Amino acid sequence: MAVKGKVIFIDSVHPILFERLEFEGYECHWKNDLDRESVLKIIGDYEGAVIRSKFKFDKKVFDAASQLKWIARSGAGMENIDLETAKNRKITCYNSPEGNRDAVAEHAIGMLLSLFNNIIIGDQEVRKGEWNREKNRGIELKGKTVGILGYGFMGEAFSQRLIGFGVNCIAYDKYKKDYANEFVKEVNLNEFFRETDILSVHLPLTDETHFIVNREFISKFSKPIYIINTARGKNIKTEELINAVENGKVLGACLDVLEYESISFEKLSNSELPNTFNRLINSKKVILSPHVAGWTKESYFKLSNSLADKILSAKN
């Protein structure tokens, strides 16, 4: 079989993508142990590149990648790729939001139920021999209105999971229309602010969505709200969120992502974190997890398998 092209795997992904591409005639090379400068020296030999989140595909990389025809991003977000340059150079960019939408939806549900029922606090207290039943009396999801901000793969999956809890599910998406179904009602922004009890953020990170959830945005909600963020940390201005938690405008928050993450999401970007972070972690009204909402054993496979489907379907 003739070689269809050489593919460089810059980040680690599930090997099913490597295996399926090689089976179809691509020559694949694992290079996920190389630093950026080493990648720049060899990327000109490749027609395809597979990345995750840690590698930034900027103009300097595109200039070095003289034979590049496509980039495959394992995951949903494309903020580490200069999409305008890719478009100008007719380089196809693939991502795989289908791969972790189920994981994200389930994680968001888990965080919300934990917050509403004081599960983490209760667990810690029982381990210390404390049996505080009245203090840990929970509240129910049923009858609440969940407002989904951004109705893509993640938002849709979340609304599907919510239906069994008897909630009212509404969504606002600036760039989509006519998506209402048995799981969600499509609303305008005014209705979104008026009706929402629980805000769940499902947005990409762009110039427009950078710190979109800030003091002004939060103040527009008619009721005190809960906030869930399983999207991108910089969708929310942390200081203004914790201010709202402390003054009662936000009743609680579930954050799988933080403003302070590095681009790879594997460590915090500052060695000395601001006081805002300390306020956040000391609040009993906030539940945190380390950017793992989409990070399940099943999604690890599905992210790569979905990319293989797209690449092979386009190239055959």
The residues annotated with a catalytic role in the active site are 232, 261, 291
Residue whose C-alpha is closest to residue 56's, from 78, 75, 88:
78
Residue 166 has a CB neighbour count (10 Å cut-off) of 11
Residue 259 has a CB neighbour count (10 Å cut-off) of 23
Task: Compute CA distances 268 → 29, 138, 227, 258, whole Å.
Answer: 30, 32, 21, 9
Residue whose C-alpha is closest to residue 103's, from 269, 252, 267, 289:
289
- How far apart are alpha carbons 175 and 202 in whole angstroms? 13
The residues, any chain, with a CB within 8 Å of residue 151's CB and separated by 6 or more, are 159, 171, 172, 173, 176, 179, 184, 186, 202
Contact 148, 170 (CB under 8 A): yes
Contact 89, 66 (CB under 8 A): no
- How far apart are alpha carbons 43 and 159 in whole angstroms? 41
- Dihedral of CA atoms 54, 57, 58, 59 in degrees, nearest 10, equals 160
Task: Compute CA distances 292 → 86, 116, 195, 266, whole Å.
Answer: 29, 20, 29, 10
Residue 268 has a CB neighbour count (10 Å cut-off) of 16
DSSP state of 148: E
Residue 314 has a CB neighbour count (10 Å cut-off) of 10
